[in-house]
C-alpha cells in the first residue's frame, strides 16, 4: 500500500460521476440511456455572456489577476448581493473562486480545527462531508425530513448542536431534495448558532432557482448573523455556466483575507476572462434567467405529476433547485438497488438517495434540467419498471 495521508483516506467520489461513467459504458455497448443523474442546466450559457468572455480574451485579459478576484466583479457582487440580502457588503468581503466549490472548501479549512464539530444536512451535497473530513473536523450529519419539506429535523438539530459546534452548513434550495428552509427554521438555527458561537456556511447556489413566485430567505439576512456567516454562491446554475468555473463567497473581511491566502497558495487566481463574463452576466439582461426558471418550473410540475401517477412512488413538489427526491420506500428495496436496476433494466440514470448520505435511504434523486421529451421517456420507463417491481 502507498502511504497516503489519512486526510484523503475517507474521500469518495460523487455518486453522479460514478453513474455517469456507468451510463456511458452502457451507451458504448449501444444501449440508449435517459440521463437524469447529472445536476447541470441543459441550457447554453446566454450568448451575451459568452461574447463578453471572447471580447475580454481579445482585449488581452489573459493574465493573472488578484487572488480574490477582479476588483470590478467583487464590487458588483457586493452591490448586487447586498441588495438581494438587504445588507451592505464591502468589496473586500467578496472572494471570487473557480466555482462555488472552493467557496465551500476554503472557508471550512480556514475555520475548522481538528476535532471541531461541523453540522451538515443529510441527505446533502457530498462535498460537505469531504471538506469537513479534510479540515480534520468531526462531521455531524443532521437528517432532513420529508414531512417538513426536507428542512432540518429541528429536534435532531438541537440535539446535535453543542459548544463544540464550530460550523453549521445550510443549503437552501437544496441539492438533492429541492427543499427550501422556511424563515422560521432559519430563525431557530440562527438563535442556536448565536447561543453556541458557531459559524454558518450558507450555500445559496440555487438561490435564484425558486418557484411559484417565492423568494428564498437567507440566514445571512437575519439580525446580527452576517458577522458569523459565509454566503456561497456562483454562476454555474443561475447562468448555465457550470464549465466556466466561477463562483464567490461573501464573509466578514477578516475571514476573507484568510480565504484569499488559501486561494493565493492553491489556485493562484480565478481565470481572468471568465470574470468579465461574470460581470456581463450580472449587469446584462436577466430575461434568459427568468425564462430558464419558468421552464424548470414547468418541468418540475410535469415530473412531479408523472412520478405521483406511478403506484408506490410519492414525490413532494420542491420549491427550488432542479431536483426531485421521490420516496420509493414502498418497494422494500434499497435506494442503491433501485437506482442500479433502473439504469441496467430500464435505461434510466438516476442517483440513489444514499449517494447523499444514509438518511437518503428510501429515495432517488432525479435532475429535471433536461428536455420534457427525456423526462417523458424516463417516466414511461420508470412506470413499467416499478409496476414489475411491485409484482
Ligand atoms: N453547492 C451545491 C449544493 C451544488 O449542488 C453544487 C453543484 O452541483 C455546488 C455547490 C458546486 O457549484 P460549482 O459547480 O459552481 O462549483
Mutate to test the pocket of ligand 1, among 131, 178, 237 (most ligand atoms within 8 A of CB): 237
The domain made up of 6-44+287-389 has a fold known as: 3.90.1150
Q: Are 370 and 33 in contact (CB under 8 A)?
A: no
Helices marked H in the chain: 15-28, 47-58, 71-85, 101-111, 126-134, 154-160, 183-196, 253-265, 272-283, 287-308, 335-341, 372-390
Q: Can you give the pLDDT at residue 251?
A: 98
* Strands, sheet with 199-203, edge to edge from the N-terminal-most edge strand: 94-97, 247-250, 229-234, 199-203, 165-171, 117-122, 138-145, 151-152
Q: Can you give the pLDDT at residue 1?
A: 59
Residue 122 DSSP SS3: strand
Domain segments of the chain as ranges: 6-44+287-389, 47-283
Q: How far is the CA of 167 from the centre of ligand 1 (A)?
A: 19
Q: Which residues of the chain have pLDDT under 50?
A: none
Strands 323-324 and 151-152: unpaired
Q: Can you give the pLDDT at residue 14?
A: 83
Pocket lining for ligand 1, CB < 6 angstroms = 39, 99-101, 125, 171, 175, 203, 205, 234, 236, 242, 247
**CATH number among 3.40.640.10, 3.30.1360.170, 3.30.379.10, 3.30.70.20, domain 47-283:** 3.40.640.10
First to last CA, the chain: 47
pLDDT tens track for 267-279: 999 999 999 999 9
Residue nearest to atom 7 of ligand 1 (CA): 39
Q: How far is the CA of 205 from the centre of ligand 1 (A)?
A: 6
- What is the rounded CA–CA span in Å between residue 190 and residue 224? 9
Atom of ligand 1 nearest to the CA of 234: 15
Q: Can you give the pLDDT at residue 2?
A: 66
Q: Can you give the pLDDT at residue 357?
A: 97
Residue nearest to atom 5 of ligand 1 (CA): 175
Amino acid at each position: 500500500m502507498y502511504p497516503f495521508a489519512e486526510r484523503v483516506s475517507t474521500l469518495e467520489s460523487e455518486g453522479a460521476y460514478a453513474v455517469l461513467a456507468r451510463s456511458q459504458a452502457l451507451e458504448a455497448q449501444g444501449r440508449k440511456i435517459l440521463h437524469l443523474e447529472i445536476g447541470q442546466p441543459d441550457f447554453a450559457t446566454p450568448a451575451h455572456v459568452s461574447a463578453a468572455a471572447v471580447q475580454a480574451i481579445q482585449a488581452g485579459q489573459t493574465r493573472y489577476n488578484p487572488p480574490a478576484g477582479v476588483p470590478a466583479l467583487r464590487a458588483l457582487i457586493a452591490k448586487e448581493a447586498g441588495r438581494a440580502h438587504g445588507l451592505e457588503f464591502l468589496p473586500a468581503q467578496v472572494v471570487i473562486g473557480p466555482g462555488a466549490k472552493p467557496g465551500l472548501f476554503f472557508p471550512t479549512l480556514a475555520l475548522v480545527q481538528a476535532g471541531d464539530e461541523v453540522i451538515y444536512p443529510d441527505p446533502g451535497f457530498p462535498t460537505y462531508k469531504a471538506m469537513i473530513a479534510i479540515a480534520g473536523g468531526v462531521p455531524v450529519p443532521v437528517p432532513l425530513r420529508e414531512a417538513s419539506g426536507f428542512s432540518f429535523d429541528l429536534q435532531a438539530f438541537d440535539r446535535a448542536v453543542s459548544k463544540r459546534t464550530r460550523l453549521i452548513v445550510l443549503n437552501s434550495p437544496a441539492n438533492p431534495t429541492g427543499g427550501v428552509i422556511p424563515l422560521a427554521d432559519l430563525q431557530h438555527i440562527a438563535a442556536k448558532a448565536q447561543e453556541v458561537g458557531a459559524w454558518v456556511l450558507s450555500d445559496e447556489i440555487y438561490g435564484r432557482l425558486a418557484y411559484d413566485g417565492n423568494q428564498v430567505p437567507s440566514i445571512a439576512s437575519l439580525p446580527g448573523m452576517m458577522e458569523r456567516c459565509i454566503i456561497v454562491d456562483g454562476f454555474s446554475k443561475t447562468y448555465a455556466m457550470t464549465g466556466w468555473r466561477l463562483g464567490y463567497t461573501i464573509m466578514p473581511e477578516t475571514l476573507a483575507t484568510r480565504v484569499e491566502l488559501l486561494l493565493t497558495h492553491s489556485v493562484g487566481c480565478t481565470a481572468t476572462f471568465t470574470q468579465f463574463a461574470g460581470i456581463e452576466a450580472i449587469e446584462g439582461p436577466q430575461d434568459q434567467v427568468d425564462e430558464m426558471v419558468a421552464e424548470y418550473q414547468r418541468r418540475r410540475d410535469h415530473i412531479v405529476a408523472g412520478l405521483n401517477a406511478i403506484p408506490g412512488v410519492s414525490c413532494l413538489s420542491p420549491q427550488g433547485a432542479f431536483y426531485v427526491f421521490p420516496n420509493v420506500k414502498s418497494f422494500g428495496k434499497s435506494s442503491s438497488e433501485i437506482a442500479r436496476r433502473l439504469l441496467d433494466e430500464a435505461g434510466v440514470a438516476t442517483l440513489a438517495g444514499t449517494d447523499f448520505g444514509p438518511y437518503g435511504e428510501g429515495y432517488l434523486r432525479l435532475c429535471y434540467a433536461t428536455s420534457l421529451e427525456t423526462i417523458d421517456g424516463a417516466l414511461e420507463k420508470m412506470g413499467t419498471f416499478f409496476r414489475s417491481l411491485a409484482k
